[in-house]
Every structure is written in C-alpha cells, then in structure tokens.
C-alpha cells in the first residue's frame, strides 16, 4: 500500500482505521476525521451515505488486509504447513498496522454485533489454516482443534499478557510454546528463530 495515491474514499477509510486503532470505534467521528484530513465534512457524504457505511468499509478493508492479503503472501512464499502457519502469524500479529487493528476490532466486537460477526468470520478463516497445519502431523480431530486453539490464543494472548517469564524473554517462551504446539523438537543451537505465531 505504500506509495500509492489514495482516493478520497480510501483516505476516509484509512483515517477511520487509524482512529479505531488509536481509540476504538467511538473515535471514528466524521467531523474530527474531516479536520485531520483537511477536508470538509460534506466531502464524507460524497463517499459514504453515513457513518455505518464507513464502519462497514473499514471492516471490509481490515478483513482483506488481515486475511486475504496475508494468505496470499503465505501462499506466494510457499513452504511446509508449519512454516506457512508461522508466517501468517508473523504477518498478522507482528505487523505494526494489523496488530493494533486486530486488538481494536476484538474490543469493538464485545459491544457491536456487526464487528463480532466479522471477527468470527476472520478468525474462522485463520483457524482453518491452523487446522490444516496441525493436520499435517496429527490425525486426531480433537488434538488438531486443541493445538489450533492453543496456537491462536498464544498469538493473541501474548499481546495482552503482562507477566514475566522467570529470566526468559517473551520471544523465547513463545518459540518454545510453538515447538510444543507444532510438535517439533526445540531448537538446540543459539541460532535465532523467526518469530512464531
């Protein structure tokens, strides 16, 4: 997305997403966004019929970036199922744009059914990738589901947890958790490993 010229509609969506990530859905206010964009409030209505239409367009953009574009990048780069799942987690939960949006939409979904429905759809698609990954080395459907849940909750929860790890870094603990969840031996050298999801 860097370097492309935004249409007025895209600028409103981008500003709305930035406001959402910074302060939640109540921060997505047309008048305040118009001021930050240096345009008139009336310009908003040339792009959207109302604030709800903007919120829906923001959810569309988030879903496209957080799932469609991430999965396309993962498929383009290839690799075995474990590598693909890890790459998807890194692209989603380490990204300076996607992570704050993901967390903001999770919070928003607790109070808004539209956001909750969209989050469920996005999370279902993410879980499908994890199920495919776990199914590459495990035959038990219950274990596949449990490992997928553990992987997903570790990826999200690690951003909400404030605990120390007894002299270990958060990354060390997440790497070991990924080894356990993905059923692989721990890395035995001091060589750094890519951040796991």
- CATH number of the domain at 56-181, please? 1.10.357
Predicted confidence (pLDDT) at residue 4 exceeds the cutoff of 60: no
Q: What is the pTM of this model?
A: 0.83
80-123 tens-digit pLDDT: 888 888 889 889 888 788 999 999 999 999 999 999 999 999 99
- The residues pairing with 165 across neighbouring beta strands, listed in sequence order, are 168
The per-residue DSSP string of 97-133 comes to THHHHHHHHHHHHTT-HHHHHHHHHHHHHHHHHHHHH
CA–CA gap between residue 9 and residue 141 (Å, rounded): 44
Domain boundaries, the chain: 56-181
Nearest to 57 by CA among 7, 107, 120: 7
């Amino acid at each position: 997305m860097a370097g492309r010229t935004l249409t007025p509609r895209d600028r409103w969506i981008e500003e709305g997403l930035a406001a959402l990530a910074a302060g939640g859905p109540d921060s997505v206010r047309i008048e305040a966004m118009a001021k930050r964009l240096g345009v008139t409030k009336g310009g908003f209505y040339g792009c959207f019929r109302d604030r709800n239409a903007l919120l829906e367009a923001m959810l569309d953009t988030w879903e496209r970036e957080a799932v469609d574009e991430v999965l396309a990048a993962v498929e383009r780069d290839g690799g075995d199922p474990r590598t693909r799942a890890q790459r998807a987690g890194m692209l989603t939960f380490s990204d300076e744009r996607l992570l704050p949006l993901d967390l903001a939409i999770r919070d928003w979904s607790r109070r808004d059914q539209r956001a909750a429905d969209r989050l469920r759809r996005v999370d279902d698609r993410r879980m499908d990738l994890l199920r495919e990954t776990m199914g590459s080395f495990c035959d038990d459907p219950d274990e596949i589901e449990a490992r997928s849940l553990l992987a997903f909750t570790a990826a999200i929860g690690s951003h909400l947890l404030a605990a120390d790890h007894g002299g270990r870094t958060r990354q060390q603990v997440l790497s070991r958790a990924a080894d356990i969840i993905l059923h692989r031996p721990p890395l035995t050298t001091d060589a750094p490993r890519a951040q796991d999801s």
